[in-house]
Structure 1
Amino acid sequence: MQTLLEAWRHTSEGGPGALILPDGCQDLIGTRWPGEATRWFLAPMADQAYLATASPGQQYRGYRLRPGVVLEAGPLLARMHGNDLDDEGFAEQALAEHTALMGSVASALEAIAQSADLRQAQRLLGVSARSLQRLLSTRSGRPPLYWHRLARWRRTLRLLETDAPLAEIAAEAGYADQAHMNLECRRWAGLSPLRLRQRPELLALGHASGHG
């Protein structure tokens, strides 16, 4: 199964840095300063928001992997060592050889993203709670509850772009109440829903590639 979700490129203008929000993905990233060799590293799946800083002119090329992908980190980075930032074909071939995504994992994550709760996802998949727990905890590195909460929160980001009252958004997103939504927003982004509404560049990340 195809493991690459998308490729991206960025040149830093410097400044205070960018807040990176969890999306359920891992990225293979190459970075290069003008006149220097490319350095490759893996950005692991994030459990909470973090600040990424860079120097002016610093270039990046990234390869975002689908949620649930398993990778051979050591061999992949060894293969990429010394490879030029602009050789996209080489990177994609290396990813094809050193990453994998089980069909059962991809199906489970899709069902969770589309379901109101984990019980509904289990019914869609025709599996027990224990089987789903074992599959995702073992093969994706995170339990089903993580994936459910992440998808719900990313859906919340999209709902916060509207003018709907926060209590209505909480109900539509599937939270017990507005206080529950507040806790989850702080858990994932370190910001309240009200503060997130004041950051349209963060809300837009709810439409970016990732889980949910």
Structure 2
Amino acid sequence: MYRERASAVPGAVLWTRTADAGAARVLPDGCIDLIWGEDAGLFAAGPDTRAHLSASPPGTRYAGLRFAPGVGPAVLGAPAHELRDRRVPLDALWPGAEARRLTERVAAATDPGTALEAVVLGRPSRPPVPYAPETAAGLAAGARVLDVAAALGVSERQLHRRCLDAFGYGPKTLARILRLQRALRLARHGFPFAELAGRAGYADQAHLARDVRALTGVPLGRLLTR
């Protein structure tokens, strides 16, 4: 069972999950998560370039903070490209004694999600990567990379470097992942695939089908049945 709500941590969503039988397909979304798991302690996840399957014994509890694109590096103190497609124990990012103490605090809490929020709110954050919010907003709205760079007054090469630190990959990959998320939202609202392809920014329905399968490993219709 999966649930989420707005978090007290700015730029984050708090989610909880109890594993059931089978593996959960985790889709790329441009985000970094700080996660506590009964079987894994505290660790950072993502950003992902492709979907991956997460399997745990049924009943295993998780709580996580999903940071909006570009927010996670300031909280975790590591550039996003160092976390790309990885699951990194917190003691590899923060001092080991502190990470162990915080892990024990969250594990002992009646509400691990609220305890996880307290962990983040109790630590200072670094300044965000310059232009990260504006870049994410522009690409999420479907703007071209060239136009986003021009609006920010930087070269495409400068934008690419900043995107690696803020999002874990270049702006073209981020734009592709955010386009996938737009398509999923439209599909869940019942738009026919042919119509949502154009609305989400794909050339046509065949382009939508190819890109969804490449990023998630399954057709769009199968994603909607989960």
Coarse TM-score class (shorter-chain normalised): 0.7 to 0.9
Identity of aligned residues (%): 29
**Structure-2 residue corresponding to 1:92:** 120
Distance 1:149 1:156 in 2: 11
Distance 1:115 1:128 in 2: 19
Distance 1:165 1:89 in 2: 38
Which letter does structure 1 place at the counterpart of 2:138? A
Range that drifts further, 3-12 or 110-119 = 3-12
Report the alpha carbon displacement of residue 159 of structure 1 after superposing the two structures with TM: 1.9
Could you say if the C-alpha distance between residues 103 and 177 of structure 1 is closer, same or farther in structure 2, counting changes exceeding 3 Å? same
**Structure-2 residue corresponding to 1:76:** 94
Aligned residue among 182, 186, 193 for 1:166: 193
Report the alpha carbon displacement of residue 157 of structure 1 after superposing the two structures with TM: 0.8
Aligned residue among 195, 204, 211 for 2:222: 195
Give the TM-score taking structure 1 as reference length. Answer: 0.76
Residues 89-116 of structure 1, C-alpha deviations (whole Å, 9 max, x = no match): 542246x436652242122111211234
1:149 paired with 2:176, answer yes
Distance 1:183 1:115 in 2: 19
Distance 1:123 1:110 in 2: 14
Helix, strand or coil at the partner of 1:23: coil
Distance 1:67 1:40 in 2: 20
Structure 1, unmatched stretches of 5+, are 202-212
**Structure-2 residue corresponding to 1:10:** 17
**Structure-2 residue corresponding to 1:30:** 36
Which letter does structure 1 place at the counterpart of 2:30? G
Report the alpha carbon displacement of residue 149 of structure 1 after superposing the two structures with TM: 0.6
Number of residues paired by the alignment?
Answer: 192
Greater relative contact order (Cα 8 A, min sep 6): structure 1 or 2? 1
Helix, strand or coil at the partner of 1:60: strand
1:52 paired with 2:54, answer yes
Structure 2, unmatched stretches of 5+, are 1-8, 78-89, 110-114
Distance 1:84 1:63 in 2: 16
Distance 1:77 1:187 in 2: 38
Could you say if the C-alpha distance between residues 81 and 4 of structure 1 is closer, same or farther in structure 2, counting changes exceeding 3 Å? farther
1:119 paired with 2:146, answer yes
Helix, strand or coil at the partner of 2:21: coil
Contact 2:194–2:205 (CA under 8 A) maintained in structure 1: yes
Which letter does structure 2 place at the counterpart of 1:22? P
Which letter does structure 1 place at the counterpart of 2:141? Q
